[in-house]
Amino acid sequence: MSQNARRPVNQATFGALPHGVTLMQADFADHVFERHSHEGFVIGATTFGIQRFGCKGRHYDSQAGDFVLFNPDDDHDGRPGTEDGFRYTLWYVPEDFVASCTDADVEPGRKRYFANPHVTDRHMVERFRALSGGLAEAHTGLGAESLRTESLMRAFIGTMLGRHGERPQADAIHARGADNAALSRVRDYIRTYYAHDLTVADLAVVAGLSRAHLTRAFGAAYHMPPHVYLNAMRIRQAQALIRRGMPLTAVALECGFADQSHFTRRFKGGVGVTPSAWRSMYCAPRRLS
């Protein structure tokens, strides 16, 4: 480890911003993220160290001055690239809010997605860091800051999509040809029955495909195997139930995890903190520093 570097610990803080946007600031020494995805967009800046991650079959090293940019349902993992660990700041942004930043909510042809999951843009990273720090400090409540906060977020996201976005999505998650409808049925089935102990055979029946064909086609279309998508659905639902105040033991059972240990392991692997820690930070947002 470099002599002047401060080795981080595995910790993360979350704060709620308007329109469902979540701000995350994290230091990770050795935490390893399992393959997972998010329902909305992720805009993140590495601020120290090397953030090593894989996305859609390629591997990247993000350093200070770099952005990590994920579109909805982009599968990815993550880990430190060196023993020094890494730090980052992230925004988790709902897809409909991003669409409204480019008027795609009223004119679908204007919808944009990020072209690449890893870009270097030091000017925008500095702007992002300053904006995130200011929003975290100011947004202790909505009140008179609501318009300012929303305006700054919209302007930044619109600029990022202008600089690093494209229309349509470069590597669309939708399958092509005859498998399209079949794989859509499988995704809908997983979204509906995420709490069940699903098997490849179950999904193959839904798709009307062989098990081998389904596994290959799903991976080619969505860049993740069905079990990774299932885990992502379970985590998303778990977060929704935690926000509603459901006890963690009940959440684990409701979302199809085998037990509390299984729930904790999978949740931390995808979110970066345990369900208990996430509940205490996200459900009682506080100033981030």
Over residues 118-172, the pLDDT tens digits come to 999 999 999 999 999 887 665 554 444 667 788 889 999 999 999 999 876 444 4
Q: Is 137 exposed, middle or buried (0-12, 13-18, 19+ CB in 10 A)?
A: exposed
The CATH architecture one would assign to domain 179-282 is: Orthogonal Bundle (1.10)
| Average pLDDT for 171-183 | 61
Angle at 12 between CA 9 and CA 13, to 5 degrees: 140
pLDDT over threshold 50, residue 85: yes
> For residue 175, what are the CA distances in angstroms to 41, 87, 204?
20, 35, 16
Tokens of 114: 């990020």
Q: Where do the domains of the chain lie?
A: 11-166, 179-282
Residue pair 73/171 in contact (Cβ under 8 Å)? The answer is no
What confidence score (pLDDT) does residue 97 get? Answer: 92
pLDDT confidence of residue 286 = 44
CATH architecture of 11-166: Sandwich (2.60)
In this structure, of 2-16, 24-38, 44-58, 244-258, the range with the lowest mean pLDDT score is: 2-16
pLDDT of res. 139:
54
How confident is the model at residue 80, as a pLDDT?
93
Rounded distance between C-alpha atoms, residue 96 and residue 137, angstroms: 25
Give residue 19's pLDDT: 86
Summarize pLDDT for 86-118 with one digit per residue, the tens: 999 999 999 999 998 887 665 766 788 999 999
- Give 3-state DSSP helix, strand, coil % of the chain, rounded to 5: 45, 20, 35
Find residue 12's DSSP bridge partners: 26
What SS3 state is found at 222?
helix
